[in-house]
Amino acid sequence: RKEVEQDPGPFNVPEGATVAFNCTYSNSASQSFFWYRQDCRKEPKLLMSVYSSGNEDGRFTAQLNRASQYISLLIRDSKLSDSATYLCVVNPRGGSYIPTFGRGTSLIVHP
């Protein structure tokens, strides 16, 4: 099993739709979690951290399920500008400080 797995997509949705991505991780001792966004030919940028209690930032909601070892990202009222690749990032606990990036989920929002 890969350390961090994401459905590569693409998820092709109309404007205004609600879309959700999941990301599973294998290291149960993982300590912190993030969603990054990467636009075509650009660097990844932090979208939001993921907290145990779940957190929301405008149209974006992130949740963590430690028991099932996955995190999720929900995007409501999708905009054309949301089209990008969404990367799941998992940081381990303990001696390793190397975060693990998922390969990303591609989202295409069309008119």
Partner 1 sequence: GAGVSQSPSNKVTEKGKDVELRCDPISGHTALYWYRQSLGQGLEFLIYFQGNSAPDKSGLPSDRFSAERTGGSVSTLTIQRTQQEDSAVYLCASSLGTGRETQYFGPGTRLLVL
Name the residues that contact partner 1, by CB under 8 A: 31-32, 34, 42-46, 49, 87, 89, 91, 97-99, 101-104
**Cα 42 from Cα 18, distance rounded (Å):** 25
Q: What values do phi and psi take at 98, rounded to 5?
A: -95, 115
- Residue 96 CB, nearest approach to partner 1 (Å): 8
Query: How far is residue 63 from each of residues 2, 43, 80, measured CA to CA in Å?
Result: 21, 24, 23
Measured from the CB atom, is 14 or 94 closer to partner 1?
Answer: 94
Measured from the CB atom, is 67 or 98 closer to partner 1?
Answer: 98
- Residue 16 CB, nearest approach to partner 1 (Å): 28
- Residue 9 CB, nearest approach to partner 1 (Å): 12
The H-or-E segment that residue 4 falls in is strand 4-6
**Cα 18 from Cα 78, distance rounded (Å):** 6
> Up-side HSE of residue 7: CA atoms within 13 Å toward CB?
13
- Residue 10 CB, nearest approach to partner 1 (Å): 12
Measured from the CB atom, is 45 or 110 closer to partner 1?
Answer: 45
Measured from the CB atom, is 54 or 92 closer to partner 1?
Answer: 92
